[in-house]
Structure 1
Amino acid sequence: MKTFVVGIDAGGTSVRLRWKESASGIEEQVRLPAAPDGGPEPALELLRQVPGEVLALTAGITKVSRGDTKAAWEQTLRTACPTAAVNVVPDFVVAFHGAVPEGVGLLCVAGTGSVIYGESGRGESVRVGGRGWEYGDEGSGASVTAELMRRTLRACDGLWPHTPLTRAVCATLETDDAALVGERGRQRALSFGRGFLVQLVAASAQNGDDEAKGLFTGAAGWLARYVRAAHAQLDFAGGEVVRVVCVGGMWELGDWMHPPFELLMARWLPGVITTAPRGTPCEGALRLAERSVL
């Protein structure tokens, strides 16, 4: 019977599964939409497509620390692959090992949420941030949206004058009544995600709005602070080349985020190299699965 190692990247939108045959080294990848509750059912369906015995499986999942999410994934995967070495880790861990194949450096994730994760050559690891939209995730689309909603509500309540950007928010929500702005903002967040105003901010920045540019500069500054904290906690060896890899939708907004971030990196962490990711989270999951059977 053919044998395989398997990597799974279970994001909020889709679940990707990548397998590699032990003998030939041939890889295949399949995907399905994610379950609404983030459960393992799509992964179970994808596993049925693997044409042989699974020797090792690593899955990177969202919300790994909330409730019984991790336990549900582990039970489902171990039931489906009873002889396999199964490992369920946070999604940012597989993203790191996809983006940084050598396993030394820092990953700065900034999408709807944000988190910094890194590993050193000594085998140490650290996570900074990623504490959820309620209390953290600075530098993310959710935090930019929340800050702009606060400014808009304060303007609607008469605490200070409206700006072109807060007026644009009111136009998007089709009201300048504070109570309705808040309620419609919550509805938009449920329907379109907690970063629902990021594209509005990006368009305003493109049109020269200084407030919009400032929101992105502030987001980049928070992310740089988190990277600096993670770097200090890992205490990289003097000879190690430390790479900071930036991934996520906030980094894909053009030049509004990268220049202020890289300026702070040069000031705070000279010698650190900022690079693009060199692989996908699903590739990282597969890489970790391979290592577990070496």
Structure 2
Amino acid sequence: MYILGIDCGGSSTEALLTTQEGRVLGYGQGGPANYTVNGTSGVVQSVLTAVRGSLEQSGLQLENLHQRGVVLALGVSGAGRSAEQVQIRRALESEGFVQVVVAHDAVIALLGALSGADGVVVIAGTGSVAYGVNGERSHRVGGWGYLLGDEGGAVWIALKALQQVMWGYDGRLTKDETLLQAAKVYFGIGEPMELIPLIYKTPLDRGLIAGFSTVIGKLAQEGHAAAQEILVDAGRQLGRLAVAALQELGLAEAKGRVGACGGVFSAGQWVLEPMAEEIRRAAPEQTLTLADFKPAAGAVFLAARHLGLDLPSVAAGLGESLY
């Protein structure tokens, strides 16, 4: 029996092909796969691209997987409702997959971050969301998209920085030449007004906007005060997501871990320290840690749980072949 664990994110898709013991055979990538933005067809296309990549690396053919049996398990950003998950599952079944398990991407992020244990994970990638499980209870905080939420996510960080560029341009702030030059270089523009058609074009290029957050991270590391302030604020926002989930699940006074998962955390201390402080104030027995595994490995745990496998054994197999 094989497992295909898929992380369908707003910027890209990742696939891990493993044995049922968790031994990794191949890795593949695909394009963006947010259900709300890309729809079922976009999700399926990106999943199939990532699956083909994992097969190429493994030297196996899809027919080999179907002959031996394969579970396709995926966490899909923007697909938090059961009707959406059923739609995606049926579309993948029509592609020939017999066993398909679909969940929201927060579910696989938690499974990967804490190796299948109960607790809370905060995902800060293109957007942001917190998700937690305590026994039979689960709770989600945030993840409402770039207009209603996603505080502390990459798009949020980038837009905060671009706001400051525009405020410097129109006189509400002293012009920040370093930030302005960084925006010009990244977006390939000559003046701030050229940002308007880039930011507001339809469909919104969230990947392009989110990518600017990495520039803000580099500026912060170089000592740029405004970039540091934006990232500290992002950390506080992400900490509040975690605290709300812990409180709703009755974990605020319990000993445990909060997993941090996603590209925003590559900014390091500027995000992690204020986030940890927010958590310490409300839940002093909870420790903020980076994720044990990436969400694609969490999708492998999702498949393993579906098959009734021993999760610690699967975690050991993943750990030996990934690290």
Structure 2 residue 284 is the aligned partner of structure 1 residue 280:
no
Structure 2 residue 29 is the aligned partner of structure 1 residue 14:
no
Equivalent residue for 2:268?
Answer: 254
Equivalent residue for 1:41?
Answer: 45
Structure 2 residue 138 is the aligned partner of structure 1 residue 125:
yes
For residue 157 of structure 1, report the CA deviation from its aligned partner. Answer: 1.9
Equivalent residue for 2:171?
Answer: 158
Distance of 1:227 and 1:100 partners within structure 2:
14
Counterpart pick for 1:28 among 25, 29, 33: 25
Distance of 1:35 and 1:48 partners within structure 2:
26
Question: Where does the alignment leave 5 or more consecutive residues of structure 2 unmatched?
Answer: 52-61, 309-323
For residue 42 of structure 1, report the CA deviation from its aligned partner. Answer: 5.0
For residue 143 of structure 1, report the CA deviation from its aligned partner. Answer: 0.6
Counterpart pick for 2:156 among 122, 143, 148: 143
Distance of 2:276 and 2:32 partners within structure 1:
37
What pairs with 1:1-294 in structure 2 (closer than 5 Å)?
3-11=1-9, 12-21=11-20, 27-34=24-31, 37=38, 38-44=42-48, 46=51, 47-48=62-63, 50=65, 52-54=67-69, 56-65=71-80, 70-79=85-94, 80-82=96-98, 84=99, 86-120=100-134, 122-169=135-182, 171-172=184-185, 174-176=189-191, 179-186=193-200, 190=205, 193-236=208-251, 241-294=255-308
Question: Where does the alignment leave 5 or more consecutive residues of structure 1 unmatched?
Answer: none
Distance of 2:148 and 2:47 partners within structure 1:
30
Distance of 2:195 and 2:143 partners within structure 1:
27
Look up the equivalent residue of 1:131 and give its one-letter code: W
Q: How many residues align?
A: 284
Distance of 1:216 and 1:99 partners within structure 2:
22
Q: Is the 8 A contact 1:139 1:220 kept in 2?
A: yes
Greater helix content: 2
After superposition, give the CA deviation of every residue in 1:235-289 in whole Å (9 maximum; x if it has no partner). Answer: 1396x53211111111112321122222222222101011221123222222222
Distance of 1:209 and 1:139 partners within structure 2:
18
**Which range moves more in the overlay, 92-101 or 66-75?**
66-75
Q: 1:55 to 1:155 in 2, by over 3 A?
A: closer
Distance of 1:191 and 1:126 partners within structure 2:
26
For residue 215 of structure 1, report the CA deviation from its aligned partner. Answer: 0.5
Distance of 2:173 and 2:279 partners within structure 1:
34
Q: 1:66 to 1:166 in 2, by over 3 A?
A: farther
Q: Is the 8 A contact 1:18 1:283 kept in 2?
A: no
For residue 137 of structure 1, report the CA deviation from its aligned partner. Answer: 0.5
TM-score, normalised with respect to structure 2:
0.76
For residue 128 of structure 1, report the CA deviation from its aligned partner. Answer: 0.7
Q: Is the 8 A contact 2:3 2:71 kept in 1?
A: yes
